[in-house]
């Protein structure tokens, strides 16, 4: 498959994926083995760039000057791409998580011991994965103990809690999270898991 840059037109922001991802992304062929992985990676990158641009309140004009190249004419079949790769639910979920995180961030930012950009980056890594979950409501907390905690409410009173220490000074690996699932407020399971495989597994669990 020939590697080509992917472009996504998100409201007033044109995002140049190739520049941000070092040529690693390309249009996926739905029949290829790696399709799901590529889609997931794409979603994460779009979320990351979109979020960072929004955070710094760049307009479409300023973003076009900061990204290395804007080649809108090369965007082929863009609407299909958006439909396939970025579902409205995903964007809505990500927005919801961002808003909740921002609220907590501005309340607790003076208590952070880490650089706030690193904290945002960590949040984004997690939120871009967790936005794939079909939650009904969610709250993100940035805690005084330097953790990011996500609480997701699903149907049938399922409550999923995920926390991640952003300092990485516990004995978990960089990508590992602590999660708990409660149903009707009863703890069903709690454990440590790698974040991306957790999302995959949890989605399958929800659709059983």
Q: Does 178 bind other proteins (CB under 8 A)?
A: yes
Q: Does 191 bind other proteins (CB under 8 A)?
A: yes
Give the residue with the Cβ less far from other proteins, 68 or 184.
184
Alpha-carbon gap, residue 10 to 17, rounded angstroms: 12
Q: Are 139 and 153 in contact (CB under 8 A)?
A: no
Query: Could you say which of 90, 181, 195, 196 contacts other proteins (CB under 8 A)?
Result: 181
Nearest distance in Å: CB 157, other proteins:
11
**Contacts with other proteins, 97-136, as mask; x by CB under 8 A:** -----------x----------------------------
Query: Could you say which of 64, 78, 87, 147 contacts other proteins (CB under 8 A)?
Result: 147
Query: Could you say which of 19, 54, 149, 175 contacts other proteins (CB under 8 A)?
Result: 149
Q: Does 175 bind other proteins (CB under 8 A)?
A: no
- Which residues here bind other proteins, judged by CB under 8 A? 108, 137-139, 141, 143-145, 147, 149, 151, 153, 159, 161, 163, 165, 169-172, 178, 180-183, 185, 187-193, 197-198, 200-202, 204-205, 208
């Amino acid at each position: 498959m020939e590697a080509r840059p992917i472009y996504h037109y998100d409201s007033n922001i044109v995002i140049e994926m190739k520049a941000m991802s070092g040529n690693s992304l390309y249009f996926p062929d739905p029949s290829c083995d790696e399709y799901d992985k590529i889609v997931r990676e794409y979603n994460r990158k779009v979320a990351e760039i979109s979020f960072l641009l929004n955070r710094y309140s760049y307009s479409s004009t300023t973003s076009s000057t900061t990204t290395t190249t804007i080649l809108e004419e090369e965007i082929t079949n863009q609407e299909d791409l958006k439909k396939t790769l970025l579902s409205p639910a995903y964007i809505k979920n990500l927005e919801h998580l961002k808003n909740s995180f921002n609220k907590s961030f501005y309340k607790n930012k003076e208590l952070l011991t880490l650089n706030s950009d690193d904290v945002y980056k960590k949040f984004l890594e997690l939120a871009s994965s967790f936005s794939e979950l079909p939650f009904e409501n969610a709250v993100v907390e940035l805690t005084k103990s330097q953790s990011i905690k996500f609480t997701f409410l699903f149907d049938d009173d399922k409550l999923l809690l995920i926390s991640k220490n952003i300092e990485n000074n516990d004995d978990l690996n960089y990508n590992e999270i602590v999660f708990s699932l409660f149903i009707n407020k009863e703890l069903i399971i709690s454990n440590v898991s790698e974040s991306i495989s957790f999302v995959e597994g949890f989605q399958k669990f929800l659709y059983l």
